[in-house]
Protein backbone atom coordinates (compact mmCIF):
# COMPACT_ATOMS: atom_id res chain seq x y z
CA UNK A 1 0.00 0.00 0.00
CA UNK A 2 2.71 2.39 0.85
CA UNK A 3 4.21 2.22 -2.69
CA UNK A 4 0.82 3.04 -4.17
CA UNK A 5 0.31 6.14 -2.08
CA UNK A 6 3.71 7.46 -3.26
CA UNK A 7 2.81 6.92 -6.91
CA UNK A 8 -0.55 8.60 -6.43
CA UNK A 9 1.14 11.62 -4.86
CA UNK A 10 3.94 11.58 -7.43
CA UNK A 11 1.49 11.40 -10.35
CA UNK A 12 0.10 14.95 -10.04
CA UNK A 13 3.58 16.34 -9.42
CA UNK A 14 4.85 14.60 -12.57
CA UNK A 15 1.92 16.04 -14.56
CA UNK A 16 2.70 19.53 -13.22
CA UNK A 17 6.35 19.25 -14.30
CA UNK A 18 5.32 18.01 -17.75
CA UNK A 19 2.88 20.90 -18.15
CA UNK A 20 5.51 23.46 -17.12
CA UNK A 21 8.11 21.97 -19.47
CA UNK A 22 5.60 22.21 -22.32
CA UNK A 23 5.00 25.89 -21.56
CA UNK A 24 8.68 26.77 -21.68
CA UNK A 25 9.22 24.79 -24.88
CA UNK A 26 6.78 27.08 -26.72
CA UNK A 27 8.20 30.34 -25.35
CA UNK A 28 8.58 33.07 -27.97
CA UNK A 29 11.66 35.29 -27.89
CA UNK A 30 10.84 39.00 -27.72
CA UNK A 31 11.44 41.08 -30.85
CA UNK A 32 12.59 44.67 -30.38
CA UNK A 33 14.16 47.51 -32.32
CA UNK A 34 17.61 48.72 -31.29
CA UNK A 35 19.29 51.99 -32.24
CA UNK A 36 22.99 52.10 -33.08
CA UNK A 37 24.74 55.50 -32.99
CA UNK A 38 28.30 56.17 -34.07
CA UNK A 39 30.10 58.05 -31.30
CA UNK A 40 32.64 60.24 -33.10
CA UNK A 41 35.47 62.46 -31.87
CA UNK A 42 35.11 64.39 -35.17
CA UNK A 43 31.36 64.92 -35.08
CA UNK A 44 30.65 65.11 -38.81
CA UNK A 45 31.44 61.89 -40.64
CA UNK A 46 30.12 60.88 -44.06
CA UNK A 47 30.38 57.08 -44.02
CA UNK A 48 30.90 54.22 -41.61
CA UNK A 49 31.17 50.44 -41.52
CA UNK A 50 29.90 48.89 -38.29
CA UNK A 51 29.70 45.20 -37.41
CA UNK A 52 27.07 43.73 -35.13
CA UNK A 53 27.63 40.23 -33.74
CA UNK A 54 24.72 38.25 -32.36
CA UNK A 55 21.87 36.00 -33.47
CA UNK A 56 18.46 37.21 -34.57
CA UNK A 57 19.42 40.51 -36.26
CA UNK A 58 17.33 41.78 -39.21
CA UNK A 59 15.71 44.84 -40.83
CA UNK A 60 18.49 47.44 -40.71
CA UNK A 61 17.17 50.95 -41.47
CA UNK A 62 19.31 54.10 -41.70
CA UNK A 63 18.03 57.29 -40.07
CA UNK A 64 19.71 59.30 -42.87
CA UNK A 65 21.49 58.35 -46.06
CA UNK A 66 21.81 54.90 -47.61
CA UNK A 67 22.33 51.58 -45.85
CA UNK A 68 23.91 48.39 -47.15
CA UNK A 69 24.19 45.15 -45.20
CA UNK A 70 26.00 41.84 -45.46
CA UNK A 71 25.16 38.91 -43.18
CA UNK A 72 27.54 36.02 -42.52
CA UNK A 73 26.42 33.67 -39.75
CA UNK A 74 25.74 35.75 -36.64
CA UNK A 75 27.71 38.76 -37.97
CA UNK A 76 25.91 41.63 -39.71
CA UNK A 77 28.12 44.23 -41.42
CA UNK A 78 26.35 47.58 -41.91
CA UNK A 79 27.60 50.29 -44.29
CA UNK A 80 26.05 53.76 -43.93
CA UNK A 81 26.66 56.46 -46.59
CA UNK A 82 25.44 59.99 -45.91
CA UNK A 83 24.77 62.63 -48.58
CA UNK A 84 26.04 65.34 -46.21
CA UNK A 85 28.37 64.76 -43.23
CA UNK A 86 26.61 64.41 -39.91
CA UNK A 87 25.63 61.98 -37.18
CA UNK A 88 25.52 58.32 -38.25
CA UNK A 89 22.67 56.28 -36.80
CA UNK A 90 20.54 53.28 -37.75
CA UNK A 91 18.01 50.89 -36.27
CA UNK A 92 18.08 47.11 -36.34
CA UNK A 93 15.42 44.59 -35.35
CA UNK A 94 16.53 41.88 -32.93
CA UNK A 95 14.95 38.71 -31.59
CA UNK A 96 16.15 37.73 -28.12
CA UNK A 97 17.10 39.26 -24.80
CA UNK A 98 20.80 40.00 -25.22
CA UNK A 99 22.43 42.97 -26.89
CA UNK A 100 24.72 42.21 -29.85
CA UNK A 101 28.40 43.06 -29.79
CA UNK A 102 29.44 46.07 -31.88
CA UNK A 103 32.65 47.12 -33.62
CA UNK A 104 33.51 50.17 -35.71
CA UNK A 105 35.40 48.85 -38.76
CA UNK A 106 35.91 52.00 -40.87
CA UNK A 107 34.89 55.67 -40.91
CA UNK A 108 35.36 58.21 -43.72
CA UNK A 109 34.98 61.97 -43.98
CA UNK A 110 33.17 63.91 -46.72
CA UNK A 111 36.27 63.68 -48.98
CA UNK A 112 36.16 59.85 -48.75
CA UNK A 113 39.34 59.80 -46.68
CA UNK A 114 39.54 57.16 -43.96
CA UNK A 115 39.78 58.42 -40.41
CA UNK A 116 41.75 56.93 -37.54
CA UNK A 117 39.39 54.83 -35.42
CA UNK A 118 40.75 56.25 -32.16
CA UNK A 119 37.86 57.61 -30.11
CA UNK A 120 35.12 55.98 -32.20
CA UNK A 121 32.60 53.50 -30.87
CA UNK A 122 29.13 52.24 -31.71
CA UNK A 123 26.64 52.97 -28.93
CA UNK A 124 23.69 50.62 -28.70
CA UNK A 125 20.30 51.07 -27.04
CA UNK A 126 16.60 50.38 -27.33
CA UNK A 127 14.54 52.66 -29.57
CA UNK A 128 13.10 55.40 -27.40
CA UNK A 129 15.87 55.15 -24.77
CA UNK A 130 19.40 56.46 -24.51
CA UNK A 131 22.04 54.25 -26.20
CA UNK A 132 24.60 52.59 -23.95
State what percent of residues in the chain have pLDDT above 70. Answer: 76
pLDDT band of residue 6 (cuts 50, 70, 90) is very low
Residue 2 lies in a domain: no
What are 13-64's pLDDT values in tens digits?
555 555 555 555 556 778 999 999 999 999 789 999 999 999 999 999 999 9
**Whole-number average pLDDT of the chain:** 84
Please report which confidence band the pLDDT of residue 132 belongs to, taking 50, 70 and 90 as the band edges. Answer: very low
Would 18 be classed as within a structural domain?
no
Q: Which domain holds residue 68?
A: 31-126
3-state SS class at 12: helix
Q: How far are the Cα atoms of 3, 4, 11, 34, 36 from residue 60, in angstroms, in the given order?
A: 61, 60, 50, 10, 10
Q: Domain tally for the chain?
A: 1
How much is the pLDDT for 23? 55
What does the pLDDT read at residue 58?
93
**88 pLDDT more than 80:** yes
User: Is 0.85 topped by the overall pTM?
Assistant: no
Whether residue 8 is contained in a domain is answered as no
- Is residue 116 situated within a structural domain? yes
Residue 35 near residue 88 (C-beta atoms within 8 A)? no
Amino acid sequence: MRGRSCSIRGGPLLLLWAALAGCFGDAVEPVRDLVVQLESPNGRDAAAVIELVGPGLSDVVATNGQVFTHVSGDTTRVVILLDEPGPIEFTVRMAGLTFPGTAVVQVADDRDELRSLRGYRARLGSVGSRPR
